[in-house]
Amino acid sequence: MRADLLSRVDGLRSGRTPFVLATVVRAERPTSAKPGDCALVLADGTIDGFVGGACAESTVRLESLRLLQAGESGLLRITPRAGEGGTAEEGVRTVGNPCLSGGTLEIFLEAMIPPVLVVVHGEAPVARALVRVGHALDWDVRTGVDPDAPIAPDTAAVVVASHGRGEAPVLRAALRAEVPYVALVASRRRAAGVLDDLAAQGVPAGQRERIHAPAGLDIGARTAPEIALSVFAEIVAQSPRVVLPASGPADVPASGEPAVAIDPVCGMEVAVTTASVSAQHDGETAYFCGTGCRQAFLDDPQRFAR
């Protein structure tokens, strides 16, 4: 099972799919999981693999989504002693899950976030320098000269460095795609002219104001590598993020915590995803840490009514 899961990692990475690799590093009996068991948790809450029973899986799902949103990794301790939930310990997130069979699990959650994706339009010296500097940052920098090339949905930045070739179409496309950082490499005078042209083409002022023109922080850059450095410094200052893929009502929000519900039976926090255990009652959806709580609720819904 572990080999099969790890074989999927390359495909997820090449597809720029964010996920969490959850690995059991310690298991205190009685538990169904053992050290070395692992699972992949995707941004829609889907879990592939095994890191414990349904209740442990529910906790792993929620904590993994939180770490994906933060772009961080961490150690998760799941214990049946509810009073231990939230115990402060550096580097460890402890969650008390009263539905466990009695043992304690420690699971390392490693968030695998695709590198920041930057699209550079052009092939001039500045464009080539942007590629070199971006690769030094371990970012995914892609170049092209086709103004009609599609923009990937998780693109963090589009930088036009084509010296007058196909600038306006690329800038308009980046704005339509709501790319967080859009920039034009040009002198102040020529940048103003391009912005005037966009205005004449009907691009609203609010959209034009999003374009960094000239591109980059004012660090006195003169050479192509210096200009590239100033552009990436400005991108970093914008705090670029990888956009997690939407999955309907189950997706992780673009900002803040993932949606959370309270299990009406045991009181556990549960991620609101289509992969979570749920049930309909009186026109509302209730979410549960596992099938046991779900069945208890369905047996007597009025007992757990709020």
Which pTM value belongs to this model? 0.76
Residue 255 lies in a domain: no
Residue 244, domain member (yes or no): no
Q: How many domains does the chain have?
A: 3
Domain range spanning residue 55? 2-112
Together in a domain, 107 and 46: yes
* Residues 219 and 273 both lie in one domain: no
Q: Is residue 177 part of a domain?
A: yes
For the chain, give the secondary structure using H, E and C: CHHHHHHHHHHHHHCCCCEEEEEEEEEECCCCCCCCCEEEEECCCCEEECCCCHHHHHHHHHHHHHHHHHCCCEEEEEECCHHHCCCCECCEEEEECCCCCCCEEEEEEEEECCCCEEEEECCCHHHHHHHHHHHHCCCEEEEECCCCCCCCCCCCEEEECCCCCCHHHHHHHHHHCCCCEEEECCCHHHHHHHHHHHHHCCCCHHHHCCEECCCCCCCCCCCHHHHHHHHHHHHHHCCCCCCCCCECECCCCCCCCCCEEECCCCCCEEECCCCCEEEEECCEEEEECCHHHHHHHHHCHHHHCC
Task: Print pLDDT tens along the chain (306 aa).
Answer: 566 787 888 889 888 899 999 999 999 888 888 999 999 999 999 999 999 888 899 999 999 999 998 889 999 999 887 555 444 677 788 988 877 667 889 999 999 999 999 999 999 999 999 999 999 999 999 999 999 999 998 899 999 999 888 899 999 999 999 999 999 999 999 999 999 999 999 999 999 999 999 999 999 999 999 999 999 999 999 875 554 544 333 344 444 578 999 999 988 899 999 999 999 988 899 999 988 899 999 999 888 876
For residue 252, is it within any domain? no
Is 145 inside any structural domain?
A: yes
